[in-house]
Amino acid sequence: MKASQVIDILTRAIPREIEWSKGEPYGPFNVPLDLEVKKILFCVTATPEVTDYFKEHKYDLLISHHPWKRYVPQMIFHTALDCCRGGLNDQWRDALGVIDPQHFDGTLGWYGKIAPIRFEDLVEKCERFMGHKIIGQLHSELETIESVVICTGLGGLVTDLAKSTKADCYILGEATASANQMGFKAVIEAGHTISEQMGIVLLRKLLPEIQIDAAPLELDYFGNETYCA
């Protein structure tokens, strides 16, 4: 498939208009329109190690979540991928069975009731969805959780907005404070990258005829995540 077709499909399904953070890099960079795309590498963050892996394994196109530009054929979809139909927020909402979901700020995150579940079982449900153990903080003053608010990635930056929902449990990628000081009765800090790696699911649905692989987790990290400290 030509890169021009890939760009058209992805920018229609993951439109800039839906993004929450405005003015960031978005869409194609260094991508010749006539490039033949047979192999795509998806990453949350285009670290130098991811870029080396991309070159070593002869991928045609790098798609990253975070807006870090590299000198390879690349497409970037940050909060547009969070907020689009079938994107990260929607996948988390559906995985946790949020009832009558609502965004807590514009197009950001979801909150609502869930079927009552023990905190420990909710943690396990998150881990099954991500295919990875929780690597951040866990905190609960409740035995049973009946409502959640969800924000993947650096959800600690919008803690006050999330808190306004009065949900029992905040499920986020990365916090900026101790879980017991965030103002929630329960917190699940999943890990920044692993809370966002399921972006590949949407890409594979949109481009079923192209091989799309995820960058190895040990090469794909962001900031001061727990497993990078």
**Claim to verify: residue 106 and residue 183 sit in the same structural domain:** yes
User: So what's the pLDDT on residue 228?
Assistant: 35
Do 170 and 206 lie in one domain? The reply is no
**Do 68 and 9 share a structural domain?**
yes
pLDDT of residue 37: 98
Pair 40, 126 in one domain: no
What mean pLDDT comes out for the span 193-211? 97
Q: pLDDT category, 161, cuts 50, 70, 90? A: very high
Count of domains observed in the chain: 2
Regarding whether 163 and 119 lie in a shared domain, the answer is yes
Q: Are both 165 and 208 inside the same structural domain?
A: no
Same domain as 74, residue 137: no
Over residues 173-184, the pLDDT tens digits come to 999 999 999 999
Question: 111, 169, 149, 154: which is closest to 20 by C-alpha?
Answer: 154
Dist. CA 130–CA 60, nearest whole Å: 26
210/165 same-domain check: no
pLDDT in tens, 22-33: 889 999 999 999
- Give the pair of three-digit tokens for residue 31: 């991508």
What pLDDT, on a 0 to 100 scale, did the predictor assign at position 221? 82
CATH number (domain holding residue 58): 3.40.1390.30
pLDDT digits (tens, 9 = 90+) for 68-77: 999 999 999 9
pTM of the entire structure?
0.93
Same domain, 92 and 185: yes
Are 47 and 135 within one domain? no
Same domain, 176 and 203: no
136 & 165 share domain: yes
Q: Residue 226: pLDDT above 50?
A: no
Do 125 and 97 form a contact (C-beta atoms < 8 A)? no
Q: What element of type H or E holds 75? A: strand 74-76
What is the pLDDT, as a whole number, of residue 229?
Answer: 30
Residue length of the chain: 229
Q: What is the pLDDT of residues 5-17, one digit of tens each?
A: 999 999 999 999 9
Each residue's pLDDT tens digit, 45-99: 999 999 999 999 999 999 999 999 999 999 999 999 999 999 999 999 999 999 9
Q: Yes or no: say if 192 and 19 are a contact pair by the CB < 8 Å rule.
A: no
185 band by pLDDT with thresholds 50, 70 and 90: very high
For residue 179, the enclosing domain spans: 88-189
When computed from its CA atoms, the radius of gyration of the chain, rounded to whole angstroms, is: 18
